[in-house]
Amino acid sequence: MINLPILPIFIPLAAAIVLIFLSKNVVAQRAVSVFASAATVLAAFIVMLKVKDDGIQTVDMGSWPAPFGITLVSDMLSILLVLTASIITLCVVLYSFRSIGSGREAFYYYPIVQFLLVGVNGSFTTGDIFNLFVFFEIMLMSSYVLIVIGGTKIQLRESIKYILVNVISSAIFVIAVGYLYSVTGSLNMAHISSRIAEIGTDPIITVLAILFLIVFGLKGGIFPLYFWLPGSYAAPPAPVLALFGSLLTKVGIYAILRTYTLFFFHDQPFTHNILSLLALLTIVAGSIGALAYRDVKQILIYNIIIAVGVLLFGISLMTEDSIAGTVFYLIHDMIIKAGLFLLGGIMIYITGTSSLSKMGGLIRQYPALGWTFLVASFALAGIPPLSGFVGKVLIVRAGFEAGEYTGAIVVLLSSLVVLYSVVNLFMAVFWKTPETPLPKGKKQTISLFIPAAALVALSVLYGVGTEAVYPFVMQAVDALIHPEIYIDAVLKE
């Protein structure tokens, strides 16, 4: 047994604790943050190579053998998402230097970002359902601080609603875990899966599936539980928004993907039909929002909801192709959303507003920013050979093969809506002549631009280098489609 899988959780945790004591020294905080984030990326990369060579890695915490103790499980899906999340956090930390403001920097911004990474990486890695709840709470607690830090009026107002929604969903999560424990008598996810396979299609399992869908749907922002998302996400500044938009909702999606492939795959005609219906409604609701708003933040936020719908539709089909598409699209969406929000943050920084009607003509002074944003927009819409294409084409093809014509067509149409909304955004911000002339003099944006452009470049590489990523994703899909692989690796039968 090796302890490698714990490193991507432990490094940010240790860094966060050190950072708390460095709160007065901003330069030291920045240095430690960057060093820790880079170390996390490196650790995640090493674990990924290890998983690629030797299969699923597990760590029994405190040497209590599974299923009695808490087990950390790094399968390919977990570690790919951990790696992506760590890279995004590194870029966001670099971006924060010039954008988050000295007030926030002095009040524990950097430690909280590291704690958020602990929660996110932990949620991806854990193999214990109650431990998942605990890591969710770590993540949520950090997000409560991040959403309110700075203490502007809009942040205080929105953070109250955000916290209330999440407190309620946490309570439902605990109840659902309690029910699951009373039905299966275990908390280890692999053990639960094998116990549920013995029970089969008992109605209580279906009830549990819906309960978990409500819990994770509230975090992930699926229809009709996304109502809190646009308001709350618009409140914090751009780097925090990038973290939220790319990591938090995706943790919810990961949890749905994990539970619906590991636990609740016995009564598919019921549960996965509900999932598919909700996915399509989510896409429609997101599309309406993305078309209706004339505000940089809101347009990008509603694009999160569209992506959530596409991912859910991929999960609901439950074929090898669709799950592969979902994994591809999940990683793509995390990277590109972070990049887009960071680019959007630069636009807001330059113009001092997020309203489209007050922007315009940026392309003269900031051509690099404009073209990078356009590339990111195309990647988001899924234009080949950029990164969104592969995931979407797999999901749509699986949809047609499964006879879900409506769903597949809605996903295809949603690409058009995405393309229209972001290109519209591009035209309004960069092309059209502004009504009020721009402030004279070019603002210094290079230190903001580099991390954002790095994410967009990574996304382009991910799209062009699909061939190289393919074996990794297929290994992840293999363990999702065949839960036995996961169960055997954890319980070592």
Partner 1 sequence: MEILMCVVAGLLFAASVYMMLSKSLLRIIIGTGLLSHGTHLMLLSMGGLKKGAAPVLGEHAASYVDPVPQALILTAIVISFGVTAVILVIAYRAYQELGTDNMDQLRGIDTDD
Q: Which stretch binds partner 1 (CB under 8 A): 2-10, 134-142, 276-284, 327-335?
A: 134-142
- Among 181, 228, 349, 420, which residue sits at the site for partner 1 (rule: CB under 8 A)? 181
Q: Which stretch binds partner 1 (CB under 8 A): 161-169, 193-201, 304-312, 386-394?
A: 161-169
Residues between 231 and 260 with contacts to partner 1, criterion CB under 8 A: 231
Phi, psi of 305 (to 5 degrees): -65, -40
Structure tokens at 411: 């996903």
> Under the criterion CB under 8 A, does residue 65 sit at the interface with partner 1?
no
Name the strand (E) or helix (H) holding 332.
helix 320-351
| 3 state SS of 268 | helix
Report d(CA 233, CA 328) in Å as an integer: 25
Q: Which stretch binds partner 1 (CB under 8 A): 80-88, 93-101, 129-137, 197-205?
A: 129-137
Report d(CA 436, CA 31) in Å as an integer: 40
| 3 state SS of 90 | helix
DSSP E strand stretches across 10-162: 57-60, 71-74
**Do residues 430 and 353 touch, judged by C-beta distance below 8 A?**
no
- Among 15, 48, 80, 177, which residue sits at the site for partner 1 (rule: CB under 8 A)? 177
**Do residues 66 and 131 touch, judged by C-beta distance below 8 A?**
no
> Under the criterion CB under 8 A, does residue 404 sit at the interface with partner 1?
no
Min separation Cβ 9 and partner 1, Å: 17
- Eight-state DSSP code of residue 445: -
Report d(CA 253, CA 267) in Å as an integer: 20
> Under the criterion CB under 8 A, does residue 160 sit at the interface with partner 1?
yes
Residues between 269 and 308 with contacts to partner 1, criterion CB under 8 A: none
Kindly list the distances between the CA atom of residue 159 and the CA atoms of 29, 140, 300, 322, 340, in Å, as whole numbers in the listed order: 26, 12, 20, 36, 23
Q: Which stretch binds partner 1 (CB under 8 A): 131-139, 305-313, 377-385, 453-461?
A: 131-139
> Under the criterion CB under 8 A, does residue 454 sit at the interface with partner 1?
no
> Under the criterion CB under 8 A, does residue 24 sit at the interface with partner 1?
no
Exposure class string for 49-73: b at 16+ Cβ within 10 A, else e: ebbeeeebbbbbeeeeebbeebbbb
Min separation Cβ 127 and partner 1, Å: 16
Min separation Cβ 101 and partner 1, Å: 14
> Under the criterion CB under 8 A, does residue 174 sit at the interface with partner 1?
yes
Q: Which stretch binds partner 1 (CB under 8 A): 36-44, 153-161, 403-411, 450-458?
A: 153-161
> Under the criterion CB under 8 A, does residue 105 sit at the interface with partner 1?
no
Q: What residue ranges bind partner 1 (CB under 8 A)?
A: 130, 133-134, 137, 141, 144-145, 148, 151-154, 156-161, 163-164, 167-168, 170-171, 174-175, 177-179, 181-182, 187, 231
